Structure formats: structure tokens, C-alpha cells
Chains A and B, each alone.
Chain A
Amino acid sequence: MDKREIVARFADAGFLVHHQVVNYISECGGTGVIEGILASLPNGVTVVTPKEVPAMTPLRTDRLDVGVSRTPEILCGREGSSIPLADPESSYAMFRDRYDALAGMLRGRVNPIPIEALVRTGNRFTDQEIGLAGMVTTISTSAKGHRVVEVEDPTGSIKVLFNKNRDGFAEAESIIPDEVIGVKGQLARDSMGRTQMVFSDTLFRPEIPLTNTISPSKEKGKAVFISDIHVGSNTFLPKAWEKFSEWMHERKDIGYLLIAGDVVDGIGIYPDQDKELEIKTIYEQYDHVGDLMAALPDRLKIVISPGNHDAVRGAEPQPALPEEFRRNFPENVTFVENPAVVNIQSVSVLMYHGRSIDDLIKFIPGASYTKPGEIMQAMLKRRHLGPIYGQRTPLLSTDKDALVIRDVPDIIHTGHIHISDVISYRGVLGINAGTWQSQTSFQKLMNITPTPAEAVVVDLFTLAYEKFCFL
């Protein structure tokens, strides 16, 4: 965990912190400890020194007991953490950050050479096996049907040709704009001696390490994952929700509820939306969601991130829901940004609404709305939630790319397309959580059949899951 963040966390809670404590937390990975430390601080303390941290004090033996907090801890995407850059031209910093982060994951396998060195006239790499890591700028198909991909790094750009007759061409066909890929291949020149392109032998993606295994919580506990409630729409299913709410009261073993955006239908999201709204004002829509949340058991810890129907800016990362809409929400609700990483009993959950799924489906051959699991897998392989720039997903220019999947999560939780699906990929559980809205006129037009009123329950102790339907 980043030291700045640790300091910031203590500062937010109103404490200064000793550098030894910072080092300690940083070294032990940061998961869950901070909330525990904060909870156990005696009154009157303003500076957290090693003696306030039980595990750092050899005299104390209750080290295990403070490690895991019952409170969801926000690791990324705390309220107010995404701040736009002053001018759009500085947004290159975000793509640079994306490149650095993802190329770093490829480095060990690819040994990338800066592209500038490859294109320089008279370089020594011709006809040699070289490696490079680049962000995709354009993709085209050559007259003979090969895939030609232009990639760039901070030093320059070059074309890479993927031969359609080679193994693994299917993977090359799924290359999408603005993802970062690694390539090993031959550097070829044209008749004039200028560097022409790289003939690829092997394509690499940042990927989830093969060695990644599931790491469940050490304590018992269960969490429910849902998304896309769409309160306010005339297709919201209040009866199903009521059933769900009653069932939650019975299931005393469930401690957490995570909602990946679109809790309301919003206003002005699409043309003539007012004709399909049951609740026509945005405040009343949120008030109603607040009532629904308050009707759920108090013991629940609820985490809500926004989606494209929420009353926040569309550009991602989206901020947490502003205060003025929260007046009816109970105390046990935590609002986070989209995307966000939340730690629940040491299980890290990457919450992302999933706007980019529209783009990914459009660009990845064979991808479809009925198989969101494959899209989550595509995100994990690329270690990015939505690399494609300039299509449906608007991106805010920030200095860090918030959509990069930096640490491998235990669970990735998405929504947006209203079709539930659960997958497991290299030890990561992928949950797309469906919706609480029946088929809309738009979906009817697009021939999309949603899977409404489903909830996915994950046993944090085993990371096994169960699906429940409340229709």
C-alpha cells in the first residue's frame, strides 16, 4: 500500500501518524489493519505511534484479533479522490501512467526495447528477435487479411503485423484500441532500409499471474452483490425488491451488501426518458432508494458506487454520490467512487459499474451481452477495466489511470448490462450482478433479455457463491 495513502487515511480520521507505523502498515500490505488500529485507539491520542499499534508492541499477544475489521475499508476510490486535471492536454499523463503500470507487468516476460530505438534509421535490431511493449493506437486489416496494429510507447510508434496463419491469431484479433500489449517478433525493413514493422511471433497481455490463487477471509462472513436497481423507472420491480428485503432480514449470516451503481434511473439519461419514469425528480428517486436501504437490516454494511444513471458526472472515475442526495440514506451506507476497491474482511473487491462493457462487446470478436463473464475475463487479462478511449465510456483526465487493475482483486464486481453471470478466472471471482428492472423498451429494441431480481451471495470464508432469484 502506498505510504502517502496511509498517511492520508490517518489524516482523514484526524490523526497524525508516526513513520514507523507507516512503514509497518506498508510492509504488512495494509489490508484491514488501519480500521482496526483506528478502532482500538485510546482517547486523547493525536499522533499514532508504535505503542498504539498492538501488533507492533511485543508485550501484547492479541495481534491476530485486531487484524480484521468488520467495517468495509476503502482501498481505492474514496470519496473525493478523483480530481480532474486543469487542461485536457495534460491527460497524456493518465495514459502514461497506464502505460507505465501495464508495461511494468509485461517487463519480465517481454524485455521491451524502446520503440524509438527500433525505428531509428540504421539500428542494430533488424531481423532480430526483439520485444516491445506498447499501447495500441490503430488496428487495421491488411489486404491479405493479416492484422496490422500500430502501437506506441513514450518514445515513438511502430506497426506490428500479426500473421493470420499463425497460432494465436484469434488472440490478435481480440486486440482492442488503447490496451497495452507486449510483442516478441522480428523487426523488418522495407527496400529503402527504413524500419517497416514488427512481425509478431508472440503476443503478451499483462494478465493475472498463473500463480494467483484464491485467498479467502480468515473469518466467517457473507456478502451480497447486486447492481442496477433503477429506482424511479416504471420498469423497476418493487415486489421483487420487497421479497429480497424480507429475505435479507432472515439471512442473519449476511453482513455486507455491495451495489455496483445505477441505484436510480436518473433523469435526462436518454431522450424522452420522462415518459418512462415513475418518479420524475432525481431527489425523490434517491429518497426512495434511501428508504429501501433503511428498510434493510441495520447490521448490514452497505457499499454503493455510482453508475451512468446516477446524478454524477459520466466521465470515469465517477465521484461518490454527493451529500445532497443522501438525506434519506441510513448510517450504515458507505458511498464510494466508480471504480473502487473495497476490502471486506481482507477480501478485496473491485467494484466497477461497467460502462466500458458496451465498448468491449463492440470490439472483441464473439463478445456478447449474454456473456458478461467473458468481458470481466477480458478486463482481467488486460488488467484494465475499459481501455478503449473515445467510444461510449467517457474518461476524466486525471494524473493516474483509475481504471488500471493494479493489484489483483479477489472479486471483481460489475453491472450495467442487466444480465447476471459469475465466473472464476485464475483465482479471481467475477460477478456481474444483473438488475432490479424488467426489460426496458430500449432493451427490447436491442433484443436484450435481462435477468432481473437476482442476488449473488459470496461466502467470504470459502469464496464460494450462490445465486438467488426474487421474481
Chain B
Amino acid sequence: MAELVTSPEYRAYLDGLIAGLDRAMEIANAAKSIGVDPRPYVEIPIASDLAGRVEALLGYKGVAAKIRELEDRMSREEAALKIGDAFVGKEFGEAAREEILDHAIRTSMALLTEGVVAAPTEGIGKVAVRRNDDGTEYLSIYYAGPIRSAGGTAQALSVLVGDYVRRLLGIDRYKPRDDEIERYVEEIKQYNNIQSMQYLPKDDDIRMIIRHCPVCIDGEPTEQEEISGYRNLERVETNVVRGGMCLVIAEGIGLKAPKIQKNVAKMNLDGWEWLEELISGNAPAQEEEEEPGVHPKDKYMRDMLAGRPAFSYPMRKGGFRFRLGRCRNTGLATCGFNPATLHILDDYLAVGTQMKVERPGKACGVVPCTDIEGPTVRLKSGEVCRIDTLDSANKYYDQIEYILDIGEILISFGEFMENNHVLMPPSYCEEWWLQEGGPRHPADEGEALRFAAEGAYLHPDYTWFWDDCTEEQLTFLAEKTAAAGSMKNGVLYIREDPAVKKVLEELLVPHTVEEGSYVLRTPLAFLRGLGLTDTLERSSAWQTLPPFTNGLIMAAHLSGLKMRSKAGTRVGGRMGRPGKSAPRKMKPPVHVLFPIGEAGGMKRSIDSASKICSADSDENFAGTSVTTGQVEGLIQIQTGERRCQKCGAVTFKSRCPDCGAHTEAVYRCPHCNQEGEPGQDSCPRCGANLVCSKESIISLAQEYAAALKNVGMSPSSAPELKGVRGLISRERVIEPMEKGLLRAKNTIFVFRDGTIRYDMIDLPLTHFRPAEVGVSVEKLRSIGYTKDMHGAELTDASQTAELHPQDIMVSVDCGEYLVRVARYIDELLVKVYGQEAFYHVETPEDLVGHLVMGLAPHTSAGVLARIVGFTKAKAGYAHPYYHAAKRRNCDGDEDCVMLLMDGLLNFSRSFLPSTRGGTMDAPLVLTTTLNPKEVDKETLNVDVMSRYPLEVYLACLTYRPPKEVGKFVDYVEKRVETPGQFEGFSFTHDTTDISEGPIDTMYTNPILKGTADKIKAELGLADRIRAVDTNDLAERIINSHLMPDMIGNLRSFSKQAFRCPKCKTSYRRIPVSGKCNKCGGPVKATMHKGNVTKYLEISKYMAEHYTLSAYTNQRIQVTEMNINSTFGEEEKTQMDLSDFF
């Protein structure tokens, strides 16, 4: 593939990253060569591009070169098919047909999913070639649960790839038997009952897919349940529900049929003509012609969770006003808000909180943008004013009586592109006004009116919300103003009258209440709009008022001025998930992957385990050479079996305790004890799966003491060290205890793969100021930020610099955690590996310029990044490319960072669980270089211009599809394969500080204790917002959260499982004996009355204080009755006569 197109400066930046990585690799490899780890070398392969990533992820040598060659000539999808030719041609060494098929399908799936997610490795169990009833052969693909991470299209295309390759190999199509077809129908429906799917095809559609699909879509059992109808079929290996298979058929082929058909057509594949029928049968009935424009949608209001407030009902007056633009920290599903808005909404929206929105997408991340308007409020004094800064929000917060308008929401053009949503009228703003004849920002209202008189539109600052008012309201207001108003020194006074105030508040014209009058200090445009002269008389325009449709047109006529809608389009929103910024911990948190069984208690403390003299030790050590007197600190654990390559000693450690050489895992057959050859999975004699396992009796006390000595700690000063209960990997390899001691000393925790991670919510950033990221200009210059975004020398902390795609800002807390990790790494290098310290950091700023690895959940590829700063927000700010490389967008997704050296030194594949899905969330490969072509496509729609041209605004007024004006907008897709893909971005709106605004959401604030408090706080806020209907909100909370919870728990109370607290056996049903069948102890219920009744009181409170529908009120009553009848009302002790018989 062609070399990445970059400027020389950017190339230098990339080279710098690679050089840093190479140096770290060298040190890590040298350190690991001493053999204390499962492997004596770094286990994370490096990939510079997609092709390399695919090869590293799957481990097929030579695939990368072939992919690069194909991608030069054809599209990604075509290459994903054509790679099959190479496998069939045995270019990479596969010989057996199954192997060819298996590897070809995995490779193309990896290609189609950007080589990031776990689906290619974990989503396909195996492939098999089996026999049709006519004696021909067919291909069967066994899908597993993690196929989900591939997404529907890639799932479906993998079937296509299988079809393509099996033809090349001369394998016939799958010819299903009738009972097999019915099995699919039964099973897919049953799976949908267990885990509801996005899409459930009709029975006949399932039949059609199975009957015609040339490849047999099979699967591994994934659920607990068995099917009851079509059991014991000869060619279906299991009676258990196969989730992966169901997903591929329903959400893959069923849902994405049009996309497969496109590829089938492009590749000229026959045998898929039936897709046409499937699609036409499924085409949704022509939706009724809707009038153009946008209409209220309340989908985002479904499933209201108690305590997460609604801020704005669908397109409701007073809700978020749509402002068109991109701030340097928005795009990729984040939207900007004035920090004053965030604070006045009771701090529920903190920086990084997710908000569910009405449009254009489903949800967005919340970030501050100071360039847009804040909320308009009524103070207790009656004053109505707009609050545009966080300072004034703080000042007025206690005086606010009612929030008339919650301010603007900044949404970029790219969001409309990404969601394929029609454009819609934005709120009127200066950047638009300037393009329609506005000469410059007007000094005062008088100048604004003069500009308008000269032909411009009225400036947005003096355009009131005329279109929110009715004709009657405006006529009434004009009359009252004429009758009860007076002008003094250019200030308008209107005598107090609640009816007048109501209209003033609809218009959102700022005013105060002074000595019995409403005082308007900007009255000129107001009077013009009402058709009043400066002397408060009706102008002649009233006589010529034509028929009109809304208040804006009326006001425009009366004033004789050109005006645009100040309100624009309102967008509904409610709180989604709260943000997060926290170290990754296992439950319970541990420091080292060293098994101690139950000996450490619930805290897994190695120290207490090493002192234990177990009461039942006799039993534990029966049949061993250990006698009771010796058992203090001795534990019996299951570990892997390893053998020293030099002296042949058998141990469970990675380094031979006798001679210090590296040891290797030994696999044996659990039945016949036969030792397997390297690379073998099953016993050559009996076919059972080989295991690496040995019962080890170790002296924990000795191990612990030795480890303390090795890292130079005294037992008295040693931190509490926590290990794990048992090992879950196939190799059952342990970590040296020294690593744990050093981690414990630095109060950091290990994840199951040996790495230390810090989780943060994702936020995008394209430009930053040194001042807001807590790093000095000198430091930034030293790592390459010498110029600001305009090309001037970077000398001042308030200048704005363009962020490089692989540079990230982590949260301050993360910075501090990583400092401790760096210290741990340094001590580890010195004390365990005998190397020099690497990081030498004291403060977070010292971390600037150091490399980290980003990794998202459900993916298996890390992304190389560099720390360049810190944000007070509890989030990780980074370039959109970086997030897209991890397949994240920024609407509340989160992922983690780890120090590069930590990953290189401590990660090992052999720690990963052997169960399906075990390699998810592990850095199986590290991407070194970002290429916008090889990351999630969502990022291609991020727009990067400094001002949208007028055409875009005008297209918004007529609700045009965004693609039609795409030619006027500069967005990433247009820059791909030019040097501009990495540099020269801009933004339309700025913000003073990317972390200005609430840092922690009120939702997680500990002053709200329990759900009842949260609901009361939520309803209290709702009562103060004009755009929210509190009664309806209360009803929604009850019907979507409280009631289902109570009813569900009531139901599950009567179906609950039981558990033995002593031996932790759980029982689907209580044993007939009433006691644990294993240990004879008492069993305990898992659900209690409290689980069922927890929301009853608050529901009744809401019924009392808000107007709910009769339906909802009665549901609460009936539920209460049912709860009482399930648990019994007060105990009756009265004796019955029949008790005596």
C-alpha cells in the first residue's frame, strides 16, 4: 500500500513516536529476557497499518503484504473476498481445506472490522466441511457469542466470504433438511426471548434464508437453555441455543440484506438472487408522506431512569436551541453547551456526561462551549435575564425562580452527515447575520436598527422570540404597552400585570421589575415588532397587516424589518449515563495474579493467607507428605505445570528456582497423563483436551518473605498485598509476587491480563491551549508544539495549537495515577529486572511526552498515543482519529489507557482466560500509526472548517439533506490521502477552557442518598424548567422505571434462586431438604422483601404530589395490594378452632 501522505512536519512527529516505541521495546525485551515472565520477550506485536494489524492479530505470516497489494487495486470489501484466492492458492502455508476456509474467513472479517474488534478471533469457533444428503459436501461455519462485536454487516459478509472460498475449493452448497430449517426458526425465536435482538425476522424469512444460504450457519452453544422442539438432529451438534448463529442470521443476513446484495452485485456472485426477494418482502410499507421539516420525536424519552432528569421535551418552547457549528471539542457525537447552562441545570450535565437527544443522533457527549448562548431565567425578583457565563451563573444560581429557556446546543454539520438527518433551521446567530449583509457587531440597539434599516436582517442580539407567540398574545401586548407603558430616557416602563409578564417571558425579552413596573432597557426592536412608535402609538402598519401564520411574520410586518427566527429548532434532551474516570479494578481489587484460594478470605490478603494454620488442613493435605505441624502458611493451589529448559526441574514459576533459567508450560492429557507436543491441543491417544495444571503445595510464608526481601521491604512496613482466588487461564501461569508488592506499595491495581489501566469517558479535541491543559509552553515546545494553529510561534499559554492525532489529554486524576504506575515501573525495572529506571517522573507534567496505549472494551487492538496534557474534566480528551481507531465515538463511550512500558513488560496472553471471549479487552496488537482510512468511518464526517458558508444556513431553512450541501463544507473525508488529513483543521466556535463547567455530575453526588432523593431532586429541577412537563415526567419515571422494577422484582421474588452462603453453591430452586445438598448448611434467599418494596414509598409520594393518570395511579395501588398479598400483611397469631384437631 502507498505510503501515508503527510507533511514533512507530521512525518517527523510520527517518526518521533516510533522512535520512542522502539526504544521502549528494546528496554522491555532486554528486561524480559531474564525469564521471570511467562515469555522471555514482549508479547504485544506492533502493526503500523491495517494490514499489519490483521496479520498480528491472527498470526498468519505474509497476509499483510497480500492485503496491501490487494487494497491498492480494490475496495476494502472486494479485498476481503479476494484474499480468499490467496488462501486457496496456499500462499500462506495452509494445507488442509478446513484451515484454508477458517483462515480466509477470519482474515476477511478482520479486514472488514478494521482489525480492532475481537470478532475475527473469538467470534468464529471453527469451520467444518460436512456432507449433504446427496453425498456432496458443504461448508459449516460455527459462530460464537463475540461475533456480536463485528456488527451486522461484517457478520453477514463473513458468510459471503465463506461462500466465495468454498466455491474455489469445489465444495457444494448447503442443502438443509426440513427439520433443520424448523430448528432454526424455533431456535432464533427462543434466542430472541432470552436476549432480545435488534431485529427478529419473520418465520418465513428465516426459512428462506436457511433454504437458500449456500453456507451452513452453525454455532457454538452460548446460552443455558436448550430448545425443546427440534432436538437431537443428526447434523446439529447441540440442543443448546446457539447465540452467535442467531445473531448472524437475524441481525446479519436478515437486517443487512441490502448491503450484502450490493456486494454480491459488485462481485458478480451467483446463488444469492433470493436476497432480492427477502428485501422486497421486508421493505417497510411506504411511510405516510410527512410534510417536510422535523417533528417532535419522543423516542429519547423512553425508558426514563429515576434520577436522570429530562431537560427539554421534544421541540418544546424553552428547550435547547439548535446552534449550528463545531467547537474545537465537539463533533464525533459530542455537542457543546454554554457552561452556564450546565450549572443552572443543577450540574447534572458535567463535562463528559452523556445526554440522550431528540436529534440528529441518539445521544451525545456534553462539552462546554463559551461561544454560544446560555439560559434565560426569571429571578425571584421578577427580573428576566440571559446568563452567558459560568461566573454569572454562580452569582445568580440561588436567585433563580424559573428557567424560561435552557440555552443553545452546538451541533456540527458533520453530525447531520453522520446520522443522515435533514438539516434544520438553527437559532439565528451573528456568524450567519454577517454573511447576509451584517457589516459588524453593532455597538448598541440603535446601531442594530440602523443596520437593519440599511437592508440587513435585524441582528440576533435584538431579535426576540416572536415566533413563540400567538397573534392574540402580540396584539394584547401591543395594546397593554400602548396603554400602560411609558418611555423615559430610552427606557420602557410598563405597569405590572401578570398577563403582560407572561408574554414578555414568551418573547424572552430581558427586563427587570422596579417599583411596580416592568423595565425594558432594550425597548426599540421590541416596540417596532409590536408596531408601536417611540411614543407608544400604533403605527400605520397595523392597518395593512396581511393574513399570516406566525408571530415572527407578524412582527416583521409591523416593524418593517427583516427578521429571522431566534429560536430556530428546539432539540429535546435528557441525561444519559454519567461520565467516569477511575482506575480499573477487578472485584475484589487485587495487586498480583497469584492464587491463594480461599486462604486470604474475602480480602484475598496474601499476608493473612501466609499466616493461616487452616483448621481443615488435615483434610487438605491428606495423602501428601505434609504433616499437620508443618501446615502454617502452606496452601494447596492449582497452578500450571512448567519445566526448566536447562535443568529439567518442574515448577509452577516462570523462572526456574533451581538454576534461574526460563521455564516452559507442559501440557498433559487429564485422562492418560500423556504429555502433548508443542502446538498440540488434544491428546494424541484419547483426544481429550490437553491441560497445563498441577496441584502445588507451596509455603506462602516463604514465598512472601522471599519476595519482600527481593524488593527490599521489611515485613512490618509491607503494604497489604492482595492476590487472586484461582487462575482462569489455560496455562495457569502466575505473576512473580514481587510485582504485586511494588504495585501495592504504589496503591495501584492489576487487571486480569497483568496490565494497569485507567478508564475514562472519551471526548474529542482538535485544538488546545497550553493554559487549559496544565502544561507549560516550554514543555510543549520541547515535544514539538512550536507553532500555534495559525502558524505563529507558540509563546503564550493562551494561544491555540492544533492537536496531533495521537496526542491525548488525560484527566488530572488519571495523571496522578499514572505517575504512581510510572514509579512502579521504575522500581520494577530496577529491583526485579535489574535494569535502569525508565520514567523518572515526580509530577504529572513529567509524564508529558511519554507514550501510552489506548484500548477499548470488546476490542483487541491497542493504539499508541502520547500524553500532552491534563484536563480537570473527568474524561480523556483526544483527537477524533484516536477515538475512531478504537472504534469509539464520544456519546458516552469509555475506554482505558495504560503506560506503554507497563503493557510491554507485564502483559501476557497466557494470563487471559481460556473461555470464549477471553481475548477481548486485551492488547493483542499495538497500532503505531493512525490512518483515517483505517479507522471507524464515523470520523470521516467530522467537519473542520472555520465558518460554514451561507449556502449551508439557507439549506437548513428548507430542511435539505446534508449531502446536498456537502460540497460547500470541508470535512475529513475530502482530505483523506492528502497531507491535510492530519493538519490544518479548524473550528467554527471556540471555548475558553475545555473543562469549564461542572466536573462531577449531580447524579453521583453523595448528597443525594438513594433513589427517593434522586427522584425528588430530579422533579424539583423539572418544576423549574419551562421545557419540561413535570407531571408527565413523573408518570414516565413510574411507568418506565419504578413500576417495572417493582413488578419485575415481585415476580422474581416468587421465582428466586437460593444460595448457600458457606460453600457458595447456588440453587435454582430450594432443595427439598431445605439445606445445602453439598455442605448441609442453611441456604439463603437471594431476593428479599426490601428488593421488592424499595420504590413503593416514593411512587406513592409521586402519586400524591403530581397529577398522574388514573391508569398509573391504579397501577401503584394494585401493585401495593399484590405486594401485601405476597408477603402477607401483619402477622396473624390468632388460633383457629381447627388447630386443635
Contacts and interface: CB of A to CB of B under 8 A. Distances in A.
Interface of A: 3-5, 7-8, 11, 16, 22, 83-84, 86-93, 95-96, 99, 135, 137-138, 141, 145, 152-157, 164, 173, 177-178, 267-268, 271, 274, 277, 280-283, 311-315, 319, 322, 361-367, 389-391, 393-397, 447
Given A96-B1074, A99-B1072, A154-B1072, A7 B1111 contact: no
Contacts of A86: 1128, 1131
B1122 A313 contact: yes
B240 to A, nearest CB: 8
B1060 to A, nearest CB: 11
Interface in B1073-1116: 1073-1074, 1077, 1082-1085, 1087-1088, 1109-1111, 1114-1115
Contacts of A90: 1074
Nearest to A5: B1138
Contact of B1073 (A83, A152, A283): A152
Contacts of B1126: 84, 313, 315, 396
A277 B1055 CA distance: 29
B228 A152 contact: no
B1085 A311 contact: no
Given A89-B1082, A363-B228, A365-B229, A319 B1125 contact: yes
25 contacts: A8-B1136, A84-B1125, A84-B1126, A88-B1087, A89-B1074, A92-B1072, A92-B1074, A96-B1073, A135-B1072, A137-B1068, A157-B1077, A178-B1069, A277-B1111, A281-B1111, A282-B1114, A312-B1122, A312-B1125, A313-B1123, A364-B228, A365-B228, A366-B228, A389-B1055, A390-B1055, A390-B1056, A394-B1054
Nearest to A445: B200
Contacts of A315: 1050, 1053-1054, 1126
Given A89-B1085, A314-B1122, A391-B1055, A283 B1069 contact: no
Q: 6 shortest A-B CB distances, which residue pairs?
A: A394-B1054, A92-B1074, A88-B1085, A315-B1054, A268-B1115, A313-B1122
Nearest to A364: B228
The residue in B226, B228, B1053, B1083 that gathers the most chain A C-beta atoms within 10 A of its C-beta is: B228
B1071 A152 contact: yes
B232 interface: yes
Given A96-B1074, A315-B1126, A390 B1057 contact: yes
B757 to A, nearest CB: 37
Contact of A314 (B226, B1050, B1085): B1050
Nearest to A272: B1039
A11 B1118 contact: no
B231 interface: yes
Given A87-B1085, A135-B1072, A267-B1114, A314 B1077 contact: no
A22 B1118 CA distance: 40
Contacts of B1050: 313-315, 394
B1053 A88 contact: yes
A141 B1131 CA distance: 46
A4 B299 CA distance: 58
A396 B1053 CA distance: 9
B1043 A390 contact: no
Contacts, number: 155
A427 to B, nearest CB: 29
Nearest to B1084: A89
Contacts of B1058: 88-89
B1121 interface: yes
B1047 interface: yes
A392 to B, nearest CB: 8
B1127 interface: yes
Contacts of B1043: 268
Contacts of B1069: 95, 137, 177-178, 389-390
A200 to B, nearest CB: 18
Contacts of B1056: 88, 390
B1137 interface: yes
Nearest to A283: B1114
B203 A281 contact: no
A274 B1111 contact: yes
Given A92-B1074, A389-B1068, A281 B1110 contact: yes
Contacts of B1128: 83-84, 86
B205 to A, nearest CB: 13
A285 to B, nearest CB: 10
A11 B1073 CA distance: 35
B963 interface: no
B1084 A145 contact: no
A93 B1043 CA distance: 31
A5 B1141 CA distance: 10
A407 B1071 CA distance: 26
A141 B226 contact: yes
Given A86-B1128, A88-B1088, A389-B1068, 20 more contacts: A4-B1141, A7-B1137, A11-B1137, A86-B1131, A89-B1084, A91-B1070, A96-B1072, A135-B1072, A155-B1073, A157-B1071, A267-B1111, A268-B1047, A312-B1122, A314-B1054, A314-B1122, A362-B228, A364-B228, A390-B1055, A390-B1069, A394-B1054
Contacts of A4: 1138, 1141
Contacts of B1084: 89
B304 to A, nearest CB: 13
B239 interface: yes
The residue in B1054, B1068, B1084, B1131 that gathers the most chain A C-beta atoms within 10 A of its C-beta is: B1054
Contact of A152 (B1077, B1082, B1125): B1077
Contacts of A89: 1058, 1070, 1074, 1082-1085
Contacts of B1087: 88
Contacts of A164: 232
Interface in B1002-1038: none
A155 to B, nearest CB: 7
Contacts of A95: 1069-1072
Given A84-B1127, A280-B1110, A394-B1051, A311 B1118 contact: yes
The residue in A135, A319, A397 that gathers the most chain B C-beta atoms within 10 A of its C-beta is: A397
A137 B1066 CA distance: 12
A281 B228 contact: no
B820 to A, nearest CB: 46
B1044 interface: yes
Nearest to A274: B1111
Nearest to B1054: A394
B1119 interface: yes
The residue in A88, A363, A364 that gathers the most chain B C-beta atoms within 10 A of its C-beta is: A88
Nearest to B1113: A281
Contacts of A361: 228
Contacts of A155: 1073
B1121 A311 contact: yes
B995 to A, nearest CB: 40
A319 B231 CA distance: 39
A95 B1053 CA distance: 16
A88 B1054 CA distance: 9
Contact of A395 (B1055, B1071, B1138, B1141): B1055
A268 B1119 contact: yes
A395 B1052 CA distance: 10
Nearest to B1040: A271
B1090 to A, nearest CB: 12
Nearest to B1110: A281
A4 B320 CA distance: 70
Given A3-B1141, A282-B1118, A362-B228, A92 B1044 contact: no
The residue in A154, A271, A390 that gathers the most chain B C-beta atoms within 10 A of its C-beta is: A390
Contacts of A313: 1050, 1121-1123, 1125-1126
Nearest to B1116: A268
Contacts of A367: 228
Contact of B1141 (A7, A277, A280, A394): A7
A394 B1068 CA distance: 13
Contacts of A93: 1074
